[in-house]
Amino acid sequence: MNREERIIYLKNFLLSDPNDVFSNYALGIEYFSDENFNEAEKYFKKVLILNPKYIACYYQMGKLFQTKQENEIALQFLKDGLKLAETINDKKAKNEFEEAIFLLED
């Protein structure tokens, strides 16, 4: 299945369950990979509304805004993700957020 087919599939799935967190996240990933940043942002934001503890989404939002060269916004998402990783004691995510923040602040 190519990207366009995956996007169609996910959109169709969301018609029956628009609040499915994973499908919204997956659609954001597909749009991000396709460099359709506005659509990616829309779906990532929905994920964070539906589930503010969806830690991977903070990382993707950080990378999205970094790609758009909006580094202050990117840093805020990465720092929010780092706080969440520390709260839930996710060491792997904590390390990934720390590295992303370090590279962005460098």
Same domain, 59 and 42: no
Question: According to the model, what pLDDT value does residue 106 have?
Answer: 76
The two three-digit tokens of residue 49, written as one number: 């509304």
Question: According to the model, what pLDDT value does residue 74 have?
Answer: 98
Domains: count for the chain: 2
Residue 15's SS3 state is helix
Q: What mean pLDDT is reported for the chain?
A: 97
Same domain, 42 and 76: no
Same domain, 47 and 62: no
Same domain, 63 and 47: no
Per residue in 26-57, pLDDT (tens digit) is 999 999 999 999 999 999 999 999 999 999 99
Same domain, 11 and 47: yes
pLDDT at 72 over 80: yes
In this prediction the pTM is 0.94
Same domain, 72 and 33: no
CA dihedral (16, 19, 23, 26) positive or negative: positive
**CATH code (residue 37):** 1.25.40.10
**Residue tagged 């989404």 (tokens):** 57
Q: Read off the pLDDT band of 7 (50, 70, 90).
A: very high
Range of 93's domain? Answer: 55-106
